[in-house]
Amino acid sequence: MQVQSSLFTLAQFGSGGNSGGGLNPIIWLGLIFAVLLVLLFATIFTIRQYKRCPSNRILVIYGKVGTARSSKCLHGGGAFVMPLIQDYAYLSLDPMVIDIPLSGALSQNNIRVNVPSTFTVGISTDPVLMNNAAERLLGLREDQTREQAQDIILGQLRLVIATLTIEEINRDREKFMSLINENVGQEINKIGLTLINVNVRDITDESGYIEAIGKRAAAEAIQRAKVEVAQQERDGATGEAIAVRERTVKVSAESASAAEGQKLAEQKQRVALAALEAQAVTGEAESKKNAEIVQAQRLAETMVAQKQAQQDQRIKVAQAEAMATTGENESKAKMAESNAKLAEIAAEARRRTEVAAAKAAEAILIAQREQELARLGKEQLASQEVEKKRIEIAAEAEAEKTRREAFGTADAIKARYNAEAEGVRKVLEAKADGYRKLMEACSQNPQVAPTLLLIEKLPDLVEQQVRAIQNLKIDKITVWDSGSPKAGSKGTTADFLASLVGSLPPMHELAKQAGIELPQALGKVRDDHAADK
């Protein structure tokens, strides 16, 4: 627009000059070339003053950058540096490796330790930390920056070691590293640096305390190993004996447990099939849930991109309108005939510029509001819906799992009871078969069969008789016997022994109550009354 206005002015001037006598065409060409040359220099100057920031640097623009600000920092992108009132510099984001040869640091229990370590730091891209780096590190060489960071790290590392004992430093390395990251990170953030990595190479002490702790731990480990070897040898010998015994028992038990094993195998098969079905249902639900999450994220990102594009379009339209208005006002100002008209045009230009800036700011705020609403919808509503769906799927899967486990448990209990009943039935059948064969063998004398069964139980009866008197504590028995028994008696000592034996449960009485006649070899009960008579 400026070029057209200048050409139009030159054309008017040339037409007026031609009417008054005319100018040489060479002069016209020179004027046009001069105007184009001026525009070319203006464009080159604008391009030279637009500074771009690479990804591994921070662009710091200082000078007059706004109220209450000493500089403006950019990471990526670019900015226009106004000549005379602004200047620029770069801060490198390359990491710096700092060796910390810390020695003689005093711990909490007053033991000096050596902690040689390596810290990797770099300038942060956080807006606040970038401003701190611009204020404190701009213009410094890398060795000067490293020296400042080294002093801060040394002080904080000594402070951390002073709060811990030797045992805590040597045993709980995670706590030690977290304290270093916390304290050192907070302090170097004040000069715009951030902590990237910490590598503690070794921890030693001048008194040899840590080495003694290691030797004690090694001795304890060796002692535990010897004890465990002895225990394993003992367990091995015991296990070998148990294995021999169990082999004998299991050989006879395997035939009886074949049916039970078959039932257990069928039960495991049913449980495995149920578990696979449950896993398939769970995997299908998980895949569906992930697909819904990805779809919601893609929809939210699309909406954010659309709003961002609309915001950029509105901002560019507003900037174009502002530039067009500014050019129009400048053209009218050059063509004005008086200072009053020029002031009026300038006032109108300022008004239009402010209106355009207000409209642009309004468009930016509206776009930011829509972007914030979209972000809230993505971060909160979408996550809540996904969590709700996940809880429902988990509850259904847990219910299905519980139901199938209940079915499997019921089948197992039923199979176990069936196996136990089958075993009891076989035992009873074997006993009945044995009794039947015994009766067949004693068919000539039926009374012999009960006698044989009673003889089989005779050791149990004798054991019960022995238990009846085993708890009697008799230290000494003194019998005063005159040696002359009365008529009809056996003597004091004989009567005492007879009464003692008579206190035992009579075997013949038990057989009589059971309806069994004992064999002659066991003797007969004498009838004292019949003898007296």
For 77-109, write each residue's pLDDT tens digit.
888 888 888 888 989 999 999 999 888 888 888
* CA atoms of 312 and 518, how far apart (whole Å): 118
Angle at 312 (CA atoms; ends 306, 318), nearest 5 degrees: 135
For 286-319, write each residue's pLDDT tens digit.
777 777 777 777 777 777 777 777 777 777 777 7
Please count the residues of the chain.
533
> Does residue 188 contact residue 152 with C-beta atoms inside 8 Å?
yes
pLDDT at 296: 74
* CA atoms of 79 and 313, how far apart (whole Å): 19
Sort strands 71-74 and 57-63 into parallel, antiparallel or unpaired.
Answer: antiparallel
> Does residue 155 contact residue 105 with C-beta atoms inside 8 Å?
no
Residues 442-452: b if buried by 16+ CB within 10 A, e if exposed: eeeeeeebbbe
Asked whether the whole model's pTM tops 0.85, one would answer no
Which has more confidence, 379 or 523? 379
* CA atoms of 321 and 309, how far apart (whole Å): 18
Which has more confidence, 196 or 331? 196
Residue with tokens 């089989």: 456
> Does residue 296 contact residue 378 with C-beta atoms inside 8 Å?
yes
310: number of Cβ within 10 Å: 14
Alpha helices in 21-141 (DSSP H): 25-49, 127-136
Element (H, E) at 65: none
* CA atoms of 504 and 261, how far apart (whole Å): 50
DSSP 367-420: HHHHHHHHHHIIIIIHHHHHHHHHHHHHHHHHHHHHHHHHHHHHHHHHHHHHHH
Return the minimum-mean-pLDDT range out of 44-48, 343-347, 518-522: 518-522
Per DSSP, the three-state class of 337 is coil
How distant, in Å, are the alpha carbons of 32, 44, 48, 417 from that of 40?
A: 12, 6, 12, 102
* CA atoms of 517 and 514, how far apart (whole Å): 9
For 266-288, write each residue's pLDDT tens digit.
777 777 777 777 777 777 777 77
Candidates 505, 503, 502; CA nearest to 526 is: 502
pLDDT at 489: 56
pLDDT at 15: 46
Strand order in the sheet with 86-92: 71-74, 57-63, 86-92
For 66-76, write each residue's pLDDT tens digit.
777 788 888 88
Name the E strands within 151-203: 193-200
pLDDT at 197: 92
Which has more confidence, 497 or 242? 242
Structural tokens at position 504: 């035992």
**Residues 405-414: what's their mean pLDDT?**
84
pLDDT at 399: 84
Asked if the model's pLDDT at residue 247 lies above 80, the reply is: no
Range with the largest mean pLDDT of 53-67, 371-385, 386-400, 505-519: 53-67
Structural tokens at position 237: 């010998």
Return the minimum-mean-pLDDT range out of 86-100, 115-129, 480-494: 480-494
Sort strands 71-74 and 50-52 into parallel, antiparallel or unpaired.
Answer: unpaired
Residue with tokens 């039923």: 414
